[in-house]
Structure 1
């Protein structure tokens, strides 16, 4: 399991002070930062050379400080799908985030710097993404789902909407049960109802959870 391994990380952050601090913090938490990058092109080169478990990417990087980082992240998703991507930024770039999630929500995270209160919380998200999970800040989810078709979402009950939104944030059934103060069995029933309303039958390679999150993000929620 990735959880028990020393994560290999490429860190893309143009602020030298923040970058050096993150390298130190991640190293203290059992991660190995194999390379750092200050530009989108440096990030692409570092990922191609080192093939890390996960890349931590800021959105706005030189030379234009607009969307170079997340553009590079989208390119990495296409060229190296086994590399997890955790966008860690002050900004939500909804259009590029949607493209980042276009081929699946597994192995993708998007956290806002000012909303991460503890290092342990960040490293937990990093490990989850590296293991193929999802870690989306609620504010990111809100912006991604601010518009869109409502047909299948209208069929959800308020509780089912809460459950699928927490799924989009990367929470397990056990975690959702704790947050909503209900039994894990109740959460399982809500998840099954979401699958049914989203027309997601069981398959041999059951990835319905990811498909349910993608449906939620694509059609609008929150």
Structure 2
């Protein structure tokens, strides 16, 4: 599995080119499944999900001209046979994973069985905000909203670094570099603060930042 972990989707030409390079074929020839489960843990989450499905979220993901598009709702998966959805996931080229609450997303990735499947998949995983943060070992108290049954801030740990998205975003006044530094001081491993013009590529464990904006790496 190749990872393209973004804060604001495919927001510029550099991130778009990185995605096409990871696909090894044009977007118009690629199939995608979108996951917007994380949005349901936010106020107005149903509307946010609809905006994501319809390409109106302001962070380009579903509207890039995919050959085909489907919706994978994680909360439904535990109640249906795996034969109905696992082959579909294995055959798709891309998973587009929306933002929202990262702990809610992590919980349902694990409950659904998708988390166990992810490492074996040969596809490109494109995360946005919480969809990216969920790959980290943990998210830090700064981002805890929905609380999982076992508490804590642990997520999937499929990468060894954490992410502070939407750095200096005009609609998120608390997402400042000063707060990112305080957040990073409480993390156990490497941590990236990144704005919406920045993404992190992970291929076979190799990490590369793709950016037309600003970002910072904090190390323990």
Fold in common (TM above 0.5): no
Q: TM bucket by the smaller chain? A: 0.3 to 0.5
TM-score if structure 1 supplies the norm length?
Answer: 0.39
TM-score if structure 2 supplies the norm length?
Answer: 0.40
Larger Rg, first or second structure (1 or 2): 1
